[in-house]
Structure 1
Amino acid sequence: MIRTYYLLTKPGIIMGNLITTVSGFALASRGHFDLLLFLATMAGLGCVIASACVFNNYIDRIADEKMVRTKNRPLVQGLISPKSAIVFALCLGFLGLVILWIYTNPLATAVAFSGFFIYVILYSFWKYQTSLATLVGSIAGAIPPVVGYCAVSSRFDIGAALLFIILVLWQMPHFFSIAMFRAKEYGAASIPLFPTERGHFATKIQMLLYIIAFLVATVLLIAFGYTGTAYLVSVVVLGLAWLALCIKGFKSKNDVAWARQMFRLSLVIITLLSIMISIDTV
């Protein structure tokens, strides 16, 4: 039963978000790493993200029945009752916000709650109404590194803003890739997708523009004196590789396979980006 509740929190999503949180925390720390504050930030935000994921599982339980990828989730299989899931989500969210409030600061707590609200209340419902909900979801996904940054700095400045912008710009091509190779699954659940509504060519144009903007945003971290040369070299190489693969997609004869490549590369990029921000902060 413990494992069932654990799976309900979508541990993969939690891990991915906490990786970016580390980069925000390290960027604001600038070499003065507070271990206790770091652990409290990770624990508190981890609980908030887990709570949001459980709520999302509850909201998606009907649609999840129609998709092969999600039909075995605990709520769909009846392994956990909807009421128990709600109670679990509330407890996780309350615990996480209390930890952040006590051990970090009101700003970090408020930012974390805003991400929770955007993901659960706005994105989770709007995604059934409009494909533009993807942009809303990208805003929620860009919150974790900002929480990490604000937990240390107690302020929202240009560093926090750049992290937020970078994550939003990264997520759009990432989400579009998923939408392209999982279009049939989402279609079965009646979830509107940009590639389905506007076509693959229009989606590729959007991805190209977002990746170019992403490249510019990542370079701004060094321009404003937050990171060093090693970071710059890494992000330029990775960004150009992503851009090249995106351009290659305009000649692709198998968009599903190409989208999977874009998706995998996007994961490599955000992981290495987070690592380089963490170890090459000025």
Structure 2
Amino acid sequence: MLKQYIFLTKPGILFGNFVTTLGGFFLAAQGSVNILLLLLTLIGTTLVVASGCVVNNFIDQDIDPKMQRTKNRALVTKVIQPSIALCFAFVLGSLGLAILWYFTNIYAFGFAVLGFVVYVFFYSLWSKRTSIHQTVIGSISGACPPVIGYTAVAHQFDIAALLVFLAYGLWQMPHSWGIAIYRFDDYKRAGIPILPVARSIARTKLECLIYVILFTAVLNGLYCFHYTNIFFLITFNALCAYWLYLSIIGFKKMDKECEKNWAKRYFLYSVILITALSISFSFSYQSPAPFLPIF
């Protein structure tokens, strides 16, 4: 039963957000890491994200049975009752927000609330089922954890926080669309109007390429504004160059199975890239950082 509760929080999503929160924290820490603050920020953020994921499971009970990868979720198979799941989500979210409120600052807390509200209300309840722009809307919540990590240390929303927010949001699009192409039949069967289903796979590949270029350009701003060093410039652009290469070879003519394999590879590389990037912030900082405030 414990295993079912863990899966209800979507461990894969938790890991991804854990890593990006770590990245934002490392970038702001500039080599001077407060371990206690780091642990509290990671725990608080992870609990809030977990709460959102449980609520998402509750909302998606009607469409999850239609998808191969979600048809065995605990709420679909009735292993866990919906009312119990909502209580579980409430406890997780309340605890996570309390930790961020008492041990970090209003910026970190505010972005945690923003991420939760966007994911649950604007994405899960509305745009996921009704709009082709669902991924763009959902990307706002996905971009919040690194900003939570950053502002927990910086105590302000500055140029670096803005660049991180924009870049991690841009990364969400090709990442999510890679999954959508790989799981195309699932999304079509469930009637979810994600870009490959609502438009075409060819258009999706083109937009993926555009977003990879935008992601690369925006995050290079960290070097331009002197938040990171030459190591970051070289390693980050090398990582992005390979993602760009994968984007381009996606335009080759291929049968359905090859396209599915390409999409899986494309998605998995996006995870490797964002993980490597987030960890690299621990030793790619430019000290002293300018910390140019916005608010």
**Pairwise same-fold verdict (TM > 0.5):** yes
SS at match of 1:78: coil
Cα RMSD of the aligned pairs, angstroms, is: 1.1
Q: Per residue, is there more helix in 1 or in 2?
A: 1
What is the aligned counterpart of 2:280 among 272, 276, 279?
276
Unaligned runs of 5+ in 2: 287-295
Q: Give the C-alpha shift of residue 200 in structure 1.
A: 1.8
Other-structure match for 2:251: 250
* 1:172 equivalent in alignment to 2:170: no
**1:9 Cα shift?**
0.8
Deviation digits for residues 213-239 of structure 1, max 9, x if unmatched?
111112111111111121111111111
Query: 1:252 Cα shift?
Result: 3.5
**C-alpha distance in structure 2 between counterparts of 1:78 and 1:198, whole Å:** 34
Q: What letter corresponds to residue 47 of structure 1 in structure 2?
A: L
Tell me which residue corresponds to 1:219: 220
> Is 2:267 the counterpart of 1:263?
yes
2:92 is equivalent to residue 92 of structure 1: yes
Residue identity matched to 2:277: L
Q: Map Cα deviations across residues 240-282 of structure 1 (whole Å, 9 max, x no partner).
A: 1111111111113132222112111111111111111222112
Q: Structure 2: how far apart are the matches of 1:188 and 1:115?
A: 28
Written as runs of structure 1 = structure 2, the 5 A alignment for 1:202-241 is: 202-241=203-242
Q: In 2, distance between residues paired with 1:28 and 1:84?
A: 38
Aligned partners of 1:175, 1:110: CA distance in 2, in Å? 25
Offset at residue 28 of structure 1 (A): 0.9
5+ residue gaps in structure 1? none
1:1-282 paired onto structure 2 within 5 Å: 1-125=1-125, 126-253=127-254, 254-282=258-286
Give TM-score scaled by structure 2 length: 0.93
CA contact (8 A) 2:30 2:282 kept: no
Amino acid at match of 2:191: S
Counterpart Cα distance in 1 of 2:128 and 2:50: 20
Deviation string 1:97-142 (CA, Å, 9 cap, x unpaired) is 0011110012210110100000011100221111211101111101
CA deviation vs aligned residue, 1:28-58 (integer Å, no higher than 9, x gap): 1112211111111011111101100000010
Q: TM-score, normalised by structure 1?
A: 0.97
- Partners of 1:211 and 1:205 lie apart in 2 by 10
Give aligned pairs, total. 282
SS in 2 for 1:279: coil
What amino acid maps onto 1:42 in structure 2?
L
- Whichever residue aligns with residue 255 of structure 1, its letter is E
Inter-partner Cα distance in structure 2 for 1:221 and 1:281: 9
Q: Is the 8 A contact 2:143 2:165 kept in 1?
A: yes
> Residue 251 of structure 1: SS of its match in structure 2?
coil
